[in-house]
Amino acid sequence: MVKEIVTPIFQFGTSRFLQAHADLFVHEALPAGNAVGPITVVAISGSAAGRARLQALARDEGYPVVIRGLEKGLRVEYEIGVKSIRRALDAEVDWQRLATLFAEQAEFVVSNTTEAGLTISPDLFVDLTGDPGPAPAGYPAKLLVLLAKRFAVSARPVVLLPTELVQRNGDTLKEVLIALAKRSGASDALLSFIAGDCVFANSLVDRIVSSAIEPVGAIAEPYALWAIERQAGLRLPCRHPAIALVEDLERIERLKLHILNLGHTVLAQCWMTDRLRPDLTVREILELEGYRNLPTEIYGSEVVPGFKARGLEQEATAYVTTTLERFDNPLLDHRLSDIAAGHLIKVQRRVGGFLRWVPQERREQSPSLAKILSTVDQNADRQSVVQ
């Protein structure tokens, strides 16, 4: 009889980002004994692309991650064969097996399910009685059922590390699960397990992963960060130079969301509005006349002054410099079509969130950002009327 592989880390999402971020970190930490163990990766969307990646993710030979770009001013390019994933499951097809393995083995949960992935419909209800039936729709519902199964089998708490680009993503995921559990008639004991025993970490991830390698793998920049906010009971799945424990995540979140991410979204808005070439990249749009100075101008006249009003001028100025260098990476092809995915939500969080965060008088001095937010909101209203 073949012994079952033990994977203390369960990852929900097969994105190329996680392949070049958390999966790569665990791979690099394992040989030195700095990781708790390998990963089970779970495809939750049921898409054909997700199933195709699954077939290649857990191969013994691993998958390639190519690092390309500038590191301390020098051009670097090298390939890493990532072998941290030992099992790959489809949440729909392998639901019963996933529930059993999660209940028995999970110590850490990592997720990256898009910025809308932590939301639920107001009328969603899941069955928490007995053994799990068919997989419910959506990541939060699936996770709630898995945690209920875990509680029934052993009641051993887990550490949850969402990496979705949602402010205070750990708190957000916890609130969604508690609301869904209450609506679904969860017992007080299960609610206490989720809210009091399990640890929901707020974290922020930062790495440009520009393109996929088929059937699995990714091309990424050298820069990488996984900032995780300290809290009681927090444990980490691995130790790695790119993982930073911080006392307060908000400063780092604001810098990334309202500088790097905001700049990407501004360029994506230009790409969509002006109907530029479909495969245009960040580097290429900044080589076109009329666009080259756009990020610099918006950062200088609207974004950095907003950070200054919040007492963060020095940090923002330094982060802008780093961001512009990353935009100019000569070895990375970061397509604007990828950045434009989920554009409405991104504009509301990155641009609208910035305008809500800065003082009122500063908000009135951000005409370019206000125009982008207004244009996108108006288009969304028109689309909702048509539908």
**pLDDT tens sequence across 57-112:** 989 999 999 999 988 778 999 999 999 999 999 999 999 999 999 999 999 999 99
Q: Give the model's pLDDT for residue 233.
A: 95
Distances from the Cα of 102 to the Cα of 99, 308, 372, angstroms: 5, 46, 44
Q: Give the model's pLDDT for residue 50.
A: 67
Provide the Cα torsion 144, 146, 150, 152; round to 10°. 70
Please give the Cα distance from 308 to 304 (Å, whole number): 6
User: Residue 39 is encoded by which pair of tokens?
Assistant: 């990963």
Place of tokens 């001095």: 365
- pLDDT in 10s for each residue of the chain, 387 residues: 446 799 999 999 999 999 999 999 999 999 999 999 999 999 987 666 667 778 899 899 999 999 999 887 789 999 999 999 999 999 999 999 999 999 999 999 999 987 677 888 888 889 898 777 889 989 999 999 999 999 999 999 999 999 998 889 999 999 999 999 999 999 999 999 999 999 999 999 999 998 899 999 999 999 999 999 999 999 999 999 999 999 999 999 999 999 999 999 999 999 999 999 999 999 999 999 989 899 999 999 999 999 999 999 999 999 999 999 899 888 888 999 999 998 998 999 999 999 999 998 888 889 999 999 998 877 765 554 444
Please give the Cα distance from 20 to 37 (Å, whole number): 17
pTM exceeds 0.75 for this model: yes
Place of tokens 């937010």: 373
Which domains can be identified in the chain, with CATH numbers? 9-248 (3.40.50.720), 251-386 (1.10.1040.10)
Q: Give the model's pLDDT for residue 385.
A: 40
Q: Please state at what angle helix 139-153 crosses helix 169-183, rounded to 10 degrees.
A: 70
Alpha helices (H) along 41-127: 48-57, 95-105
